[in-house]
Amino acid sequence: MTSPAGPSGPTIRTVPAGDDRERLVCPDCGYVAYENPKIVVGSVATWEDRILLCRRAIHPRRGYWTLPAGFLELNETTADGAAREAWEEARARIEIDCLLAVYNIPRISQVQLIYRARLAAPDVDAGPESLEVGLFRWDDIPWAELAFPSVVWALNEHRAQEGRAVVAPGTNPPEPPAGL
C-alpha cells in the first residue's frame, strides 16, 4: 500500500501486537523491520610464536592495532568470514583451528566470533583497511595501542588456551566490581 505521497515503508517506532519492544513498522502495511545484532568474525592468527596484528586504517580507532576481523557477509560461514577478513586486512592466508571465543557486546549490538588460526606463511602485507601489519611476540604486543577491549580479551584467551588441542570457547571476562 502506498500513501498519496508515495511508499512510506517502516517509519514508525511502535510495539507491534504480540511483541515486547519497539520496532520500526510500516504504517501502511504493518511490515516490521527487525534490527538484529551484527556478527563480527576474526582470528588470532599465529606464525610460530608470533601473533598477527593490523593497524587500522579506518574509523573507529584508526591508527590502533587490532586482530584481523570484521562483519560477517551474507551467504558466508563464520570460518570463511574470518579467513576473508585475514586476507582483506593483512593479505594473510590462514588455516582455522577452532573457535577460540564468543564475545557479546550488547552496547553496540555485536556478537564476535574469534577463531584460533595458523598463518599458512609468514608473508603478510597491509590490505586496504590496514595502515600496516605485523607479527608480534607476546612481550612485544603494543598493549597500550590496542583498538578494542575484545582484542585484549581474545589475546588473553589465546594465551590461556595455548598448547591445548581442544578448547572450550571463551566468553566475556567478568565485569570489574563497581568503582574500580
- The model's confidence at residue 177, banded by pLDDT at 50, 70 and 90, is low
Q: For the chain, what is the mean pLDDT?
A: 92
* Grid coordinates given for 84: 576473508
For residue 66, the one-letter residue type is: T
Share in percent of the chain as helix, strand, coil (round to 5): 20, 35, 45
Per-residue pLDDT tens for 29-72?
989 998 899 999 999 999 999 999 999 999 999 999 999 999 99
CATH number at residue 78: 3.90.79.10
Percent of the chain with pLDDT over 70: 93
Tell me the H-state helices in 11-148.
78-90
**Cell 583498538 sits on residue:** 147
Kindly state whether residue 180 falls inside one of the protein's structural domains: no
Phi, psi of 21, rounded to the nearest 5 degrees: -150, 160
Q: Is residue 5 part of a domain?
A: no
Query: The whole model's pTM is what?
Result: 0.86
Tell whether 14 is covered by a domain.
no
Residue 119 has what pLDDT?
98
State how beta strands 94-105 and 110-119 pair.
Answer: antiparallel
pLDDT tens digit sequence for 84-119: 999 999 999 999 999 999 999 999 999 999 999 999
| Distance separating alpha carbons of residues 4 and 66, to the nearest angstrom | 50
For residue 5, what pLDDT is reported?
Answer: 56
d(CA 131, CA 119): 20
Q: Count how many domains the chain has.
A: 1
Sign of CA dihedral 136, 147, 110, 83: negative
In a domain, 54, yes or no: yes
Instruction: Specify the residue for cell string 570489574.
Output: 176
The whole-number average pLDDT for the span 143-164 is: 96
> What was the pLDDT predicted at 11?
85
* Residue 3 pLDDT > 70: no
Tell me, yes or no, whether 8 lies in a domain: no
The rounded distance, in Å, linking the Cα atoms of 51 and 176 is: 27
Question: Is the pLDDT reported for residue 161 higher than 90?
Answer: yes
Q: Within a domain: residue 18? A: no
Which residues, other chains included, contact 139 with Cβ-Cβ below 8 Å and sequence gap of 6+?
Answer: none
State the residue range of the domain holding 59: 38-161
Three-state DSSP class for residue 8: coil
